[in-house]
Copies of this chain bind each other. A is one copy, B any other.
Amino acid sequence: MADTGNKKQKLVHTSGAPIYMETSSAPTNIATIKYWGKADAKWNTPINDSVSVTLNQDDLKAVTTVAASTAFENDRLWLNGEEEEGAADNKRFRACVDGVRALATEKKDDDGKVLVTKEDWSKMKIHVSSYNTFPTAAGLASSAAGYAALVAALALLFGAKEEFPGQLTSIARQGSGSACRSLSGGFVAWRKGGKKEDWSDSLAEQVADENHWPEIRAVIMVVSDAKKDTSSTAGMSTSVETSLLLKHRADTVVSQRMEAIEKAFLAKDFETFGQLTMADSNQFHATCLDTYPPIFYMNDVSKSIIRIIHVYNKWAGKIQAAYTFDAGPNAVIFTLEEHAVEVGALMLHYYPEFGDKYVNNPDFEKKIKDFKLDKDLLEATDKTGREPKSGEVKMMYYTSSGPGPQRLTDTILNLDPTTGLNTYKK
């Protein structure tokens, strides 16, 4: 974890007891080989490996402050400024707090004097305040970023020491599966594990860091959707029970794709990376459709984006853009810096501005508005049947790949330094 500030952490409760506090931010990640289906519900482990691109926290992140004190009466959690009642008994939250605390070390002052023993940590209650810099409901992997930030902040607070590499990711995975991939930057694989009985080998591993292929960009189309479909957890469970195609995918297709896409990422081979990304997104949604009753996450707007991207690549003569869709209608379009403005302009053409702050990045917004799209390209994409129409996409994000969690020390605290109560307001 990167450390962006000083280490002054000792605060005092009104009762006189010390409060220990840490804040961490964490990124979202977008899988290019998808996770769908749990092998073990208790341990929250997957039936197949997956791999994702970590997005840049300058554009999308979760920020979590954790505090521990003997003065606190209960474990408490605030999400985006609202307290979650009973959250402290939630098994995902518990797995993270108790899991990281089990790796706690002594806290010493600068002179080497022990302030908190390992045993002391277990006597303290924990307060947590977390928020996202993007809409939670937008389907942009907010729980992955949130649980990654929680685990990262707890690790700082408790001075956690891993017993084996990736142990913290195996804890974050128990909060939210894909959270394990948000603990590193760049391109991160989640190995399904299962050789160890306690599933401690189901953990994330960085394939390449964010500096390996810095030209990677993502254009995210947040698609409006009236109908909120099945939650991921419920959906996965039904898919595992009923889809014969999902079993085949997990057993035989994914391992080959993992090998190929990791190789492609390391070789910066966008053609292969993009082709596998699109094929795997479609296969994931195919297994949702093969579920009984079927699950639909993409809608007609999502499909129109897919058609346009395929025509764009055909026009370009090579794969320059690759879509992927998670458990919702939003498209994440990966491309390279050199094509990003063209891809953004193409999207803006068919899904024109809708409301304030339609594009997250003003510089990118200006560039895509000024860009003149090729006449032949538009003639070809028009043939998909899509006509420019605003309102169906409610926001465009432009971002790149970025690093893992960051320690924040110079930010406004989310918890009051004298009471440990939430101070964050949406």
Spell out A's residues near B (CB within 8 Å): 226-227, 242, 244-245, 248-249, 252-253, 275, 278-279, 282-283, 285-287, 289-294, 296, 299-300, 303, 306, 310, 384-385
Contact = CB atoms under 8 A, between A and B. Distances in A.
A293 B292 CA distance: 24
B296 A303 contact: yes
Of A248, A290, A310, A385, most B-chain CB atoms within 10 Å: A290
Contact of A226 (B252, B253, B385): B385
Nearest to A291: B282
A78 B249 CA distance: 47
B300 A278 contact: no
A282 B278 contact: no
B248 A385 contact: no
Nearest to A257: B244
Contacts of A289: 282-283, 285-286, 289
Given A245-B248, A296-B303, A384 B285 contact: no
The 3 lowest CB-CB distance pairs between A and B, nearest first, are A227-B385, A286-B290, A286-B286
Contacts of A306: 293-294
Nearest to A227: B385
Contacts of A245: 245, 248-249, 253, 283, 286-287, 290
7 contacts: A244-B253, A245-B249, A275-B292, A279-B292, A282-B289, A286-B286, A300-B300
A287 B289 CA distance: 9
Contacts of A279: 242, 290, 292
Contacts of A275: 292
Given A282-B290, A282-B291, 16 more contacts: A227-B384, A244-B248, A244-B249, A244-B252, A244-B253, A244-B283, A245-B248, A245-B287, A245-B290, A248-B248, A275-B292, A278-B292, A282-B294, A286-B286, A286-B289, A293-B310
A216 to B, nearest CB: 22
Contacts of A249: 244-245
Contacts of A283: 244-245, 289-290
Contacts of A285: 289
Contacts of A242: 279
B292 A282 contact: yes
Contacts of A252: 244
A87 to B, nearest CB: 27
Nearest to A278: B292
Contacts of A292: 275, 278-279, 282
Contacts of A287: 245, 286
Contact of A299 (B248, B282, B300): B300
A305 to B, nearest CB: 12
A361 to B, nearest CB: 29
A332 to B, nearest CB: 16
A249 B300 CA distance: 26
Nearest to A301: B300
A292 B227 CA distance: 27
A286 to B, nearest CB: 4
A92 to B, nearest CB: 27
Nearest to A293: B310
A394 to B, nearest CB: 17
Nearest to A290: B286
Nearest to A275: B292
Nearest to A294: B282
Contacts of A296: 303
Of A294, A300, A384, most B-chain CB atoms within 10 Å: A294
Contacts of A293: 278, 306, 310
A384 B296 CA distance: 12
A57 B242 CA distance: 36
Of A227, A306, A385, most B-chain CB atoms within 10 Å: A227
